[in-house]
């Protein structure tokens, strides 16, 4: 059994914010793979299904971002899921927009959701870091992540979410590098994410 956690803030006010791309990622997984309807529990919402014949719990904490760890801890304790079987999908300002990286542990780069989760369960969970870009000035970061994606960003956002959903089973198998590559190839097929030399 694995716990996939998408990070975001609850409520329609924040729904399309960059900070909420983790919510959208787990919602895309649920839709693509026919998971059960979302229901409220563990201070959040969950949807259950299977990937690669393994039971998967998707979780969207209903606390605000800086209290995300409460919902994660409650769900993990209930299902007896160890930290090595928890995967957190979240926005990452330290990556350019339309880039994605998977890593285990490491720093939290000022992300309040990760800070809360690490305080509750430790730091050694896997993170799917979805790049939303940096505004360039530290003082603008808060407004950047709490603003909606621009209309011009919708193509890469939708392509990214589709690719995450299509390839989520690779995360279950621990094939993180293959997952990253598949997502970036999907983006490149739409002409997104290539550098001038053709590399991603």
State residue 115's pLDDT score: 95
Question: Closest by alpha carbon to 176, among 121, 125, 116?
Answer: 125
Confirm if 15 and 26 have CB atoms less than 8 A apart: no
Other residues' Cβ atoms within 10 Å of the Cβ of residue 103: 11
Instruction: Give the whole-angstrom CA distance, residue 145 versus residue 14.
Output: 10
68 SS3 class:
helix
What number of CA atoms fall less than 13 Å from residue 74's CA on the CB side?
17
Q: Which tokens is 157 given?
A: 């956002």
Q: Which residue, chain included where needed, has tokens 């992540």? A: 145
Instruction: Evaluate if residue 195 carries a pLDDT over 80.
Output: no
Q: Which tokens is 58 given?
A: 């998707």
Instruction: Give the whole-angstrom CA distance, residue 46 versus residue 58.
Output: 5
**What is the residue-wise DSSP string for 130-169?**
EE----SSGGGHHHHHTSBPPGGGHHHHHHHHHHHHHTHH
Query: pLDDT digits over 157-187, tens only?
Result: 999 999 999 999 999 999 999 999 999 999 9
pTM of the predicted model as reported, rounded to 2 decimal places? 0.94
105 SS3 class:
coil
Query: pLDDT digits over 97-146, tens only?
Result: 999 999 999 888 789 999 999 999 999 999 999 999 999 998 999 999 99
Annotated domain spans of the chain: 2-189
Q: How much is the average pLDDT of 51-56?
A: 95
Q: Are strands 44-51 and 86-92 parallel, antiparallel or unpaired?
A: unpaired
Is residue 120 flagged as an active site residue?
no
The CATH number, out of the four listed (1.10.540.10, 3.40.30.10, 3.40.50.1470, 3.30.1490.20), of the domain defined by the range 2-189? 3.40.50.1470
Confidence of residue 194 (pLDDT cuts 50, 70, 90): low
Which residue among the candidates 19, 24, 90, 111 is catalytic per the annotation? 19
Question: Closest by alpha carbon to 2, among 62, 90, 107, 72?
Answer: 72
Rounded to 5 degrees, φ, ψ at 79 are -90, 0
């Amino acid at each position: 059994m694995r716990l996939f956690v998408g990070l975001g803030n609850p409520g329609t006010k924040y729904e399309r914010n960059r900070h909420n791309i983790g919510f959208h990622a787990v919602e895309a997984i649920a839709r693509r793979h026919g998971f059960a309807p979302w229901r409220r529990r563990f201070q959040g919402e969950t949807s259950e299904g299977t990937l690669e014949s393994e039971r998967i719990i998707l979780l969207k904490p209903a606390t605000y971002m800086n209290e995300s760890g409460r919902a994660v801890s409650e769900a993990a304790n209930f299902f007896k899921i160890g930290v090595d079987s928890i995967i957190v999908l979240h926005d990452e300002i330290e990556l350019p927009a339309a880039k994605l990286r998977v890593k285990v542990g490491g720093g939290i780069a000022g992300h309040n959701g990760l800070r809360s989760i690490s305080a509750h369960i430790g730091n050694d969970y896997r993170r799917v870091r979805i790049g939303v870009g940096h505004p360039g000035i530290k003082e603008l970061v808060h407004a950047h992540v709490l603003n909606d994606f621009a209309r011009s960003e919708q193509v890469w956002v939708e392509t990214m979410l589709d690719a995450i959903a299509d390839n989520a089973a690779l995360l279950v198998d621990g094939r993180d590098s293959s997952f990253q590559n598949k997502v970036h190839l999907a983006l490149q097929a739409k002409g997104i994410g290539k550098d001038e030399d053709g590399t991603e």
